[in-house]
Structure 1
Amino acid sequence: MDKVNRFIQFNDESVETRKILLYERIAQSLANAPFVKITERQLIEYQPKDATFAMSVFWRHRSEQVTHLGRLSDIYLLAAGFYKQFDLAAWKRFAFEMKTSRHPKLAGQIMMLLEEFRLMEAIQRTRVGTKRAFAMRIEVYAEFHKDRLLSNAKRGFLSDAFINQLFLDIHTGMTSSPHESLHQLPMERVRQVAQSAYELKTTSQSGDLAKRIMDLVEEQLTGDSVLPLYTFGESFEEGKSKAMSARAMSDPGESDNQELKETIEEEFRAWHRETEEGEGTHLEFELQQGKQGAADASESSPGDENAEAQQLGLGSSEGNDKEGTANQQSEIAGDRLEQTSVKAGSDYGAAHRHVTFSVTKISNRAETISAVTLTKWRNNHLPIVRALVTEMKKRLERKKQLKRENLTKGRLSSKLTSMLTDERPRPFYRKQAPSQELDAVFGLLVDGSASMIDKVEETKEAVVLFHDVLRKLHVSHEITTYYEDAFEATKDVQPNFFEVMHTFDETHVDSGQAIMNFEAHEDNRDGFAIRWMADRLAGRSEQHKFLLIFSDGEPSAFGYDRNGIVDTAEAVWETEKRGISVVHLFLSAEKPTDDQKELFATMFGNKTAASDSVEEFANETLRILRKLLAIAAQ
């Protein structure tokens, strides 16, 4: 099920992740721009800085078919219409000329209405499959404009009523008389002029026709348009490209030589190029266990955003940079490893463009109280860990002894009757190659948000069980908690942290005490963490790769409220495409509600499970682990 209601009762709108991802793919294909994203706003609009097309919320709360076709029509207009065929320079010239008009907003709305009609006709001529969606769009919007016409006329908004009437005349024909409230306007003459809408070929022609219509009605109307029906978004309506302004700020000498972009596509690609240039991943590190000793910096070199990482940042360092002091303080005795803060850029999804992240190895030093608790848990888990390890070893032994029969060469079978009965006998067999160990690798992400505080101990117990089973089976695994610093997060920078309890290279190392040192922090940015761990798993050579996520709620971080669910679902989808199985365990102190189950099914598909209470975390973890290990042992 891909549609659920949000938990927050005062904002219980639906989040339809799979459909939004579908619309995103359609938009990317039509626009030939794999970097664009889809969101919803009051009106359809463009957000070039975020590489986003916005569908209109107008289609919500309707039948499923109307909503789907209506949103498709928005996508067609956004990606195949205005994006490629709208002359942005001509529109800006028109807007500049209309500044002296008594009703500049009305003029702009009329031109956009004409352009919408022109582009709908053009798209349907080249893409016949869009006709059904546009037919539904016209039908629904015609009813909307009929209602708005009556409402605007009653309230005295004659400019808005005029736009409603013009839409109906152009899209549904001019068979009926204009509304009586417009009697003071030369509607017959307007209708004659509006007939030219069927012959429009360019944006400039739409602007000229809009001017002719304005010349006919401008004197008779007393007020400008109040309720907008069309918008491009503030990026275009400021009259000057934001991308152009940003480049002018970085190099004022270029501002006089800038040319207006001819299409919205050029504007988007200019923003995209600038974002790519300014947001490379400048530092990348492989996480390894620290080694005691001083670092040799004799061969150090300046950073380069296009260069690949070739060196590990281990141990402590000294410097005058106050902001980096906290991150640079680390113990070099193998207990901690720190990675310099890295800017995510566009490598981890558009929603995380302003994220910075650092990686820290949690100390594996024992504390008296936690050491006693760890020993107690392990004593309790010992029988079930032994049982599971024995079960997996038996599976591997059976796999080792299995024979492949009916072969043309190999060992001669004791059953030779096929030599007499078969025309082409195959009396040979072969044993399978020995399987000493499981060819699998696991990555475990543990939600480190503040909501985990009341269930930290139970989570630690479940993670310890996970770690002990895989360690006994000599299966490589990495355990990491992730969180965002909510107090330091701003619009431009969102600091994220990965605290690693156990690394892939520590297969035989007991990291139980590092797990015991896990603590809850602030927010969680799930989609970002999934992509980060997926990158680490993708570089592994094992045949079976599993990514497990332990979390207790929906994603919550700066600017990541509504699109967090969609982004997480997209991250899961991307990870599965890379051959990595994503499994989610919902950590809840109470039995999950239907809404909660639906939400996590939306993000993680059918690979999500939930425990009925905090006491069941470890049991549920064991159940999931047994299934995944059985898959790897086949």
Structure 2
Amino acid sequence: MKHVVFNNKKIDASTFLQMENLSISLSKDPHAFLEFDFQAYFDDEEQKFTVSHFWDNQEHLAQLNGLKSDVYLKALGNKHHTDFKEFKDTLKELHETHLKSFFTQLYVLLEDIRLEEIIVRQRPGTRQLFSTRKNIYRNYFKSQFKANEMRNFQLDQLYCLIYLSLTSTQLTYQTNEQLEEVLPILFQTFEAKKTSDISSIIFQVQQRLLPIYKQDMIHTYFGFLPLNKLADTTSCNSKAKELQNDDEQEGLEERNSEDEKLSTWHRESKNNENDDNFLRFEVESGTKTAIKANFAREQESQDQAIGNAFGSSKQGDHKDSKQTDATETANSSNNSHQNPFGKYNSNVSIQYISPKQQTIDEKKQYSTLSAVVSKDVKELRKTIEKSLENKQNAPSDKYYGRLNKKWIKLFTEDKPKMFYKKQTESKELDAVFYLLVDCSGSMFNKMDEVKKSVILFHETLKQLKISHSISGFWEDASNASKENKPNILHQVVPFSQSLYPSTGPNIMQLHEEEDNRDGLMIRIVSEELAKRPEKHKFLLVFTDGEPSALDYFQDGIIDTHEAVKQARKLGIEVIGTFIEEDEHQDETVQLMKNIYQHHFLIASGTEDLRLQLKPLLKKLLLRSID
């Protein structure tokens, strides 16, 4: 198990789920899903929305407003008010110019402005969200303009001025000769009714600017991911434009590929001074050969900037897994929203392991560790028994029964209850506990101390006759694949045997294994706990870090948070216990808060864990006295 940091940021599970629920609500599509990315966009083919990491460094309220504005623009705006056929056709045409990055991003910007006007009219309550968005972006583009001016990035300067001009609330603003020429056209955006109107505006601007600028925009400010797909579709489309050259490469069928190297150069593929483009976008020129259009070439200075204009991706592994999961979800009857284990746990299998026959060594080890916690167990048992006795004998004020000695009530109350009735029925602890132990590989130096804490719970609960269960869990990483992810639940102390005097040594069978899929196991044991008849249900999860398993990574935080939330809806109190070997780190606190909200404790080292668990157990037991 390891801490997974994406873009140097931990995923805030609560915020993510809030944005995801908002996107589903606005899009009215229960199968849509949300991701964080470097740019915000809507993929109409996968029904995927993304929100931008641009907001990561903002203050919390500004960050929420910014993320919500992304969701509104994509889930409500693009989803319901963008003509994607028109949008993609226009993008393909813009794609053929040497200023593709500039016009692509300008097209996205103008469409977003049009959508913002529609959304604010339909939902006036969003005005504040977009006001915050506009203010933050204006400050950003002001700083970008100065930086681009110093570097003499002329088209980037123009783009910044366009944004500042279109979002200005004043009649005067900074301008230049090129901006003055196109600004009247750009202001037509506020009168646009549909996507085709924005297309008309962008082509008018294109006619005026193409002859002036020879070099494309360098930076990426707004992106649109499906352009990657457009490029692939264009290069593979059977109805692609006719090649400028009608020549062919002869004799390929007679040649032996092992004996002779094929040509890997198209004369039109060489970049000239006026058109530094990716080769895959130039396949309309070339020869009718068997050579693949997307062959590799050396990277050039502007490649990354142009590539980003079509949507920057996240870490490769995560993105691949997302796309794979989406495909599997679409083709499977057990899709993500029907999967009882949650949408991030596709293709998992569960193996339940019963405790093995106890060995002599296990019995000796248990005897040694139980002696360490025996004093704490006795103190806890006496405290709870005394509380039960006080609860049982506590007088209750009534209008009849035994006369109460507190006569002052005659003078302080209008209708004093001067009698009481002694409670004859016995009070019991109406509670049930489930201890879930992370058995991932990184627990190798902490498992002994975790066992002491588990024994503390087991012995205390056993003496108070409170049913409980103890299990370890892990994922078999060595045998895991995208088609099958085997997960093991090792139930060393089942409910049916939890009060037996001889079950304790089974706890010694917990060992560190491989990966951990916390959200999955919390869901499984929560279902078991929910069926129990006890009134008070507690689930304690012993872990030492972030969930980590195949195709889980950053999704593990989201999934575990969601599993905890669902368990609490079932009336189960879920508490996370984190073992931190070093001093408390802010990242650790934020991680636990993301998953468990305020119901967690962090032990500063293994020795501190048991000391913190003792008052926690006392508090939970006292709460469960009826």
Measured at CA, do residues 382 and 69 of structure 1 come closer, stay the same or move farther in structure 2, by a change above 3 Å? Answer: closer
Give the aligned partner of residue 175 of structure 2: 178
Contact map agreement 2:141 2:164 (CA 8 A) in 1: yes
The farther-off stretch of 386-395 and 110-119 is: 386-395
TM-superposed CA distance for 1:507, in Å, is 3.7
1:275 partnered with 2:329: yes
Q: Distance in 1 between matches of 2:68 and 2:160?
A: 23
Q: CA deviation at 1:113?
A: 1.4
How far apart, CA to CA, are the structure 1 residues paired with 2:216 and 2:605? 60
Query: Match for 1:228 among 220, 227, 252?
Result: 220
Residue deviations 1:286-326 (CA, integer Å, cap 9, x gap): xxxxxxxxxxxxxxxxxxxxxxxxxxxxxxxxxxxxxxxxx
Q: Which residue of 1 aligns with 2:132?
A: 136
List runs of 5+ in structure 1 lacking aligned partners: 1-5, 242-267, 282-342
What are the superposed Cα offsets for residues 89-111 of structure 1, whole Å, 9 maximum, x if unpaired?
22123234445545444443232
CA distance in 1 between counterparts of 2:113 and 2:539 reads 48
How far apart are residue 118 of structure 1 and its match? 0.5
Residue 531 (str. 1) matches residue 520 (str. 2): no
Question: Which deviates further from its counterpart, 415-424 or 212-221?
Answer: 415-424
TM-score, normalised with respect to structure 1:
0.73
How far, CA to CA, are the matches of 2:511 and 2:328 in structure 1? 39
1:119 to partner: Cα distance: 0.9
1:9-408 pair list within 5 angstroms: 12-13=8-9, 15-33=11-29, 38-46=34-42, 53-149=49-145, 151-152=147-148, 157-172=153-168, 175-176=172-173, 178-179=175-176, 183=177, 187-234=179-226, 237-238=229-230, 275=329, 278-280=332-334, 346-350=339-343, 352-406=344-398
- Match of residue 401 from structure 2: 412
Q: Secondary structure at the match of 2:352?
A: strand
Structure 1 equivalent of residue 569 of structure 2? 577
**Cα pair 2:10 2:591 within 8 Å, conserved:** no
Deviation (angstroms), 1:632: 0.8
- Total equivalences in the alignment: 532
Aligned AA for 1:579?
G
> Retained in 2: the 8 A contact 1:437–1:473?
no
Q: Distance in 1 between matches of 2:513 and 2:331?
A: 33
* Aligned-pair CA distance for 1:520: 0.5
- Contact 1:591–1:611 at 8 Å: present in 2 too? no
Partner SS for 1:611 = strand
Residue in structure 1 matched with residue 473 of structure 2 by the alignment: 482
| Structure 2 gap segments, 5+ residues each | 234-321
Which secondary structure does the structure 2 equivalent of 1:505 belong to? helix
Q: Does the residue aligned with 1:222 lie in a helix, a strand or coil? A: coil
Distance 2:528 2:224 in 1: 40
CA, structure 1 residues 48+453, in 2 after alignment: closer, same or farther (shift >3 Å)? farther
CA distance in 2, matches of 1:489, 1:566: 21
* Structure 1 match to 2:503: 511
Q: Deviations over 1:36-92 (max 9, x none)?
A: 555432111246788653222222334455434333322332333223222222212
| Contact 1:588-1:611 at 8 Å conserved across structures | yes
Residue of structure 1 in register with 2:306 after alignment:
none
Aligned residue in 2 for 1:455: 446
| Conservation of the 8 A alpha-carbon contact between 2:427 and 2:625 | no
Compare 216-225 and 80-89 and name the one that shifted more: 216-225
Task: For 1:520 and 1:535, locate their aligned partners in 2 and report how far apart those are by CA, in whole Å.
Answer: 25
Normalised TM-score (structure 2): 0.73
Structure 1 CA distance for aligned equivalents of residues 43 and 79 of structure 2 = 12
State whether residues 44 and 56 of structure 1, in contact with CA within 8 Å, keep that contact through their aligned partners in structure 2.
yes
Letter in 1 for 2:577: L
In the TM superposition, residue 531 of structure 1 has moved relative to its aligned partner by: 2.5
For residues 471 and 344 of structure 1, the distance between their equivalents in structure 2, rounded to whole angstroms, comes to 39
Asked if structure 1 preserves the Cα contact closer than 8 Å seen for 2:395 and 2:422, the reply is: yes
Question: C-alpha displacement at 1:553, in angstroms?
Answer: 2.1
User: Conserved in 1, the CA contact under 8 Å of 2:433 and 2:468?
Assistant: yes
**CA drift at 1:390:** 4.4
SS at match of 2:477: coil
3-state SS in 2 of match to 1:231: coil
Could you say what secondary structure the match of 1:587 adopts?
strand
CA contact (8 A) 1:276 1:345 kept: no
User: Are the structure 2 counterparts of residues 51 and 504 from structure 1 closer, same or farther at C-alpha, using a change threshold of 3 Å?
Assistant: farther
Matched residues in 2 for 1:544 and 1:397: separation? Answer: 20
Residues 579 and 420 (structure 1 numbering): CA distance in 2 closer, same or farther, change over 3 Å?
A: closer
Tell me the secondary structure at the aligned position of residue 119 of structure 1: helix
**CA spacing shift, 1:594–1:71, aligned 2, 3 Å:** closer
Structure 2 distance, partners of 1:169, 1:419, is 76
Structure 1 pair 110–558 and aligned structure 2 pair: CA distance change class (3 A): same
Matched, 1:438 2:492: no
Instruction: Tell me: CA distance 1:413–1:276, structure 2 relative to 1, closer, same or farther (3 Å).
Output: farther
Instruction: Give the AA of the match of 2:425.
Output: P
Deviation at 1:585, TM superposition (A): 2.1
**What one-letter code is carried by the residue in structure 2 that aligns with 1:412?**
G
The letter of the residue matching 1:94 is T
For residues 140 and 378 of structure 1, the distance between their equivalents in structure 2, rounded to whole angstroms, comes to 59
- Inter-CA distance 618–20: structure 2 relative to 1 (3 Å threshold): same
Change (3 A) 1:478 1:355: farther
Find the residue that maps to 2:496 and give its secondary structure.
coil
AA at the equivalent of 2:122? T
| Post-superposition offset of 1:15 | 4.6
CA–CA distance in 1 between the matches of 2:189 and 2:453? 67
Query: SS where residue 540 of structure 1 aligns?
Result: coil
User: Identity of counterpart residues, as a percentage?
Assistant: 28
Alpha-carbon distance in structure 1 between the residues aligned to 2:144 and 2:45: 33
1:496 paired to 2:492: no
Contact kept in structure 1, 2:102 and 2:155, CA below 8 Å: yes
